[in-house]
Amino acid sequence: MGTKLFHVSESPDIECFEPRSSPSKWESVMGPVVWAVDEAHLVNYLFPRDCPRVTYYPLPNSTPADIERLMGATGSRHVVCIEEGWLDRVSTQKLCVYELPTETFSCVDSGAGYFVSPETIRPKSMKAIDSLIDKIGVCGAEFRVLPSLWNLSDDVSTSSLQFSCIRMRNALPRGAS
């Protein structure tokens, strides 16, 4: 496997990752697994665990209208958005990015960059990230802050762009902003 795989955590002292039961929506994942994300999608996880976010980027077959509407004039290849109520936590949170060996992992969602392994995994290395917003920029993404994520989530989910809507159960209720 040519890609690097990572696991992001708020915990700085993980010596090994033990397989855990998969969320029910992943019917193709049988039994306990360790989850990882590939390098191209790492930016989607440079947030406090429970932070709701919408992330997206154009695909080769994305329409010019969708790209213009959702990407705008950004020079970035990827956009990540949070609610303004989470900005203080994102600004102060420190995270640990663990690089994982790739040998026992298999891809379960290439659009999201999700990989799983049924094995216990010892990380290859760990890097502490002190400034998440700076790291998001280094990863080539534009960071946007919105009063609410719901309109964007609805819009991007019906577009031709690749997207992820993560931890939306923690977003403000619709119409609350």
pLDDT tens per residue, range 41-100: 999 999 999 999 999 999 999 999 999 999 999 999 999 999 999 999 999 999 999 999
What is the span of the domain harbouring residue 152? Answer: 5-21+30-168
Do the domain assignments include residue 139? yes
Read off the pLDDT band of 177 (50, 70, 90): low
What sign does the CA torsion over 79, 84, 86, 88 have?
A: positive
Share of the chain above pLDDT 70, in %: 97
Give kind and range of the element (H or E) at residue 135: helix 132-138
In the numeric block, which tokens belong to residue 133? 């917003």
Alpha-carbon span 55 to 156, nearest angstrom: 9
Alpha-carbon span 151 to 141, nearest angstrom: 20
Of 10, 3, 19, 11, nearest to 121 (Cα)? 19
Least confident of 27-31, 52-56, 154-158: 27-31
Total domains present in the chain: 1
Do the domain assignments include residue 174? no
Tell me the C-alpha to C-alpha distance, in Å, between residue 78 and each of 100, 110, 140, 143, 166. 23, 16, 7, 9, 15
Tell me the C-alpha to C-alpha distance, in Å, between residue 71 and each of 43, 68, 129, 142, 170. 16, 6, 26, 9, 24
Do the domain assignments include residue 72? yes
Do the domain assignments include residue 100? yes
Maximal C-alpha separation, the chain: 47
pLDDT digits (tens, 9 = 90+) for 110-135: 999 999 999 999 999 999 999 999 99
